Amino acid sequence: MTAKATLREQILTELQKMDRATYEQRSRAIAEQLFQEEIWKKATTIGITIARFPEIATRAIIERAWQDGKTVAIPETNNKSKAMKFRVYKESDELCKKALGLYEPLESAVVVQKNDLDLLIVPGVLFRTDGYRIGFGAGFYDRYLMDYQGATISLCYREQITADFMPEPHDLPVQKLVIENNLK
């Protein structure tokens, strides 16, 4: 197992010990921090995943985006090509459950061009304070970020911050971290 895989497994194991009430409360608090960010306020089209426990819950963020009149786009992944694209997600849209239990848009949903995404909320498992991250291991976001020109932000629990890994040449940092309780 690689060092990244070991770190990923350790933090996910730790986070999975969180009870549901604590998880929901902590996720709400981080979402409220996000809503105060200028990068959030200015964005009109947001790329975001449908999170799974123990990832920071994204449902309230998506609902707030809709309330604020923002366009929400969620990723559709292709496991064979390892490519990812974002499709518009509206309140009434159905989702399909894909590999790894991820919920993704139907193929009938409108594709959002990469340069039309103002803000991409990039998921991750571990983060350095300079924005480098360890993702979930498939590399979808690393490939997507290579030529993405919009703003990038990641949401993280305080225990997801570490200095225990070195970025690899293909890794790209996010521009901003929203760390639980505004820790830096």
Does residue 163 contact residue 132 with C-beta atoms inside 8 Å? no
Distance of alpha carbon 98 from alpha carbon 104, whole angstroms: 7
Domains of the chain and any CATH numbers: 3-182 (3.40.50.10420)
Going residue by residue through the chain (184 aa), what tens digit of pLDDT does each one get? 568 888 888 888 888 898 999 999 999 999 999 999 999 999 999 999 999 888 899 999 999 999 999 999 999 887 777 788 999 999 888 888 877 677 888 888 899 999 999 999 999 999 999 999 988 877 788 888 889 999 999 999 999 998 888 888 888 899 999 998 865 4
pLDDT value for 1: 52
Whole-number pLDDT of residue 179: 92
Nearest of 90, 85, 92 to residue 62 by alpha carbon:
90
Nearest to 40 by CA among 73, 75, 57, 64: 64
What does the block give as tokens for 167? 């970025």
**Pairing of the two strands 151-156 and 133-134:** unpaired
Rounded to the nearest angstrom, the gap between the alpha carbon of residue 77 and the centroid of all alpha carbons in its chain is 14
The pLDDT assigned to 93 comes to 86
pLDDT of residue 52: 87
For residue 94 the two structure tokens come to 């159905």
pLDDT of 2 reads 64
Q: Which helix (H) or strand (E) holds 175?
A: none
| Residue 160 identity | Q
